Amino acid sequence: MSWSSPVQRNIVAGMARRNAAARSLPIRRASGNIVSCMQGKDVMLRIEDLADRFTRDLPGLLAHIEEVVNIDSGSRDVEGVNRVQSIFAAQLRDLGFAVMRVPGSGRGDQLTARRAFGSGPNVLILGHADTVWPAGTAAEWPFGRSGDALTGPGIADMKSNVILAIHALKLLIEGVGGADMSGVGSVTFLIVPDEEIGSPQSKDWITAEGARCDFCLTLEPARPGGGTVVSRGAVGAAYINATGVTAHAGSNRLGGASAISALAPLVGGIEALGSIEAGNYATVGVLRGGASKQVVAGECEAHLDLRASSRQEADRLWEEITRIVETAPRDPRVTLTLTGGFIRPCFPQLPGMTALYGRAEAFARALRHPIAPNVSRGGSDGSFVAAQGKPTLDGLGVIGHDICSRREWAELSSLAPRGAMLAGLIASGGDVL
């Protein structure tokens, strides 16, 4: 990738000037004590030096990002996901990580990379290799950049972020900014193949690794304005299937029992449950049934998206949906079945998480980079770790916009400061716990 044009050189030079301007800024607690310039063993971590190095390394980083973005890796595209995993695995092996890959059933490999460093907290980093996009998308919409915008399938969610995290580890191992990894027990990096469909095959693996860690850093994209996720609600999916009796609508209408007539009236009651403002609600996103206009519908199905702000609210919402289905008036020849449930637990605000966020905020302020706490209704794999009481911080990737749409883009200018902030958290996050 060439950076010979004046515009490209100006982008890198401008980012370097901005990061250099932060060098004189101390990183402090509200009480005024120096924080996380300090690592374990009284070693000073110079966050601005890490940001400067990220800026200098941008051409190579963008080449790596372009390579993986231009590979289709939808959650059910085993070959594509594994091609991306192979690139990540090779980069992590080059950093001295032991890499293990476990094939899935109809899914890509689960990738675990682990390296011991010294004595201290065990850090878990969570990323994923899959995207929401079908095969052929990368050919139609390849990696691109225009001004401060990087585009392409999965550019912010989250291929750029995995590359950023791997590079953060590289700089820490090299000791950039005075980094000393002897105060970290180990780093485990999980790259999940099926996150975009709820991690059905990866949930137990993530949960088990979460139990081993002292804190978790999750690489979902940051929100516009630097929103970094400090809490998430529970997320679920439910399916209601109605089975009736088909018949010709003209010659034998009474011989039929309509599945649509039984299921469709339930939609309004389900969507009236809870409160959207409070974050506890169900949305019927799919309702379909029938074969032809002159045939009494023998089948109908509804697909529900579930959101809840707490475990108690999740249980209450599920109980209410179950009640609606079980007590629905209908032709006795029609059967209704409800399946599914909450697939990602709540991600509570824990004291350790608050401390981690405070450290991230200190790094960001020192680099004059925007940051704000964000409470999300969307789920992530970090929820499986946070639900065990482990301090977890999410939204640590690049600043992304219009996620999971053809308009998705990432802020190029956020790569260096977000990468430096992530590196700082890996090296020193355990100091505040």
Interstrand relation of 122-128 and 186-192 (parallel, antiparallel or unpaired): parallel
DSSP string covering 1-33? ----SHHHHHHHHHHHHHHHTTTT---B-TTS-
Which single residue is written with the structure tokens 């824990």? 350
Residue 323 phi/psi, 5-degree rounding, is: -60, -45
Q: Does the active-site annotation cover 319?
A: no
Q: Which residues contact 327 (CB under 8 A, 6 or more apart)?
A: none
* Whole-number Cα distances in Å, 330 to 5, 243, 246, 291, 432: 69, 11, 15, 20, 58
195, 214, 313, 411: the active-site residue: 195
Rounded CA separation 39/427 (Å)? 7
- The torsion of the CA quartet 371, 375, 402, 268, rounded to 10 degrees, works out to -160
Nearest Cα residue to 246 out of 295, 301, 175: 295
Which two structure tokens, joined as six digits, stand for 421? 């902030």
Whether 130 is catalytic: yes
Ordered alpha helix ranges (H), 136-197 = 137-140, 160-174
Tokens of 344: 């990602």
Contact yes or no for 255/247 (Cβ under 8 A)? yes
First to last CA, the chain: 42
For residue 262, what are the contacts with CB-CB under 8 A and spacing of at least 6?
242, 244, 300, 328, 330, 331, 334, 336
The gap from C-alpha 407 to its chain's centroid, in whole angstroms, comes to 18
Which ranges constitute the DSSP H helices of 105-187? 137-140, 160-174
Q: Which of 72, 130, 214, 411 is catalytic?
A: 130
Element (H, E) at 151: strand 149-151
Residue 386 near residue 325, CB atoms below 8 Å: no
DSSP letter string, 231-249:
EE-EEEEEEEEEE-B--BT
The catalytic residue positions are: 130, 195
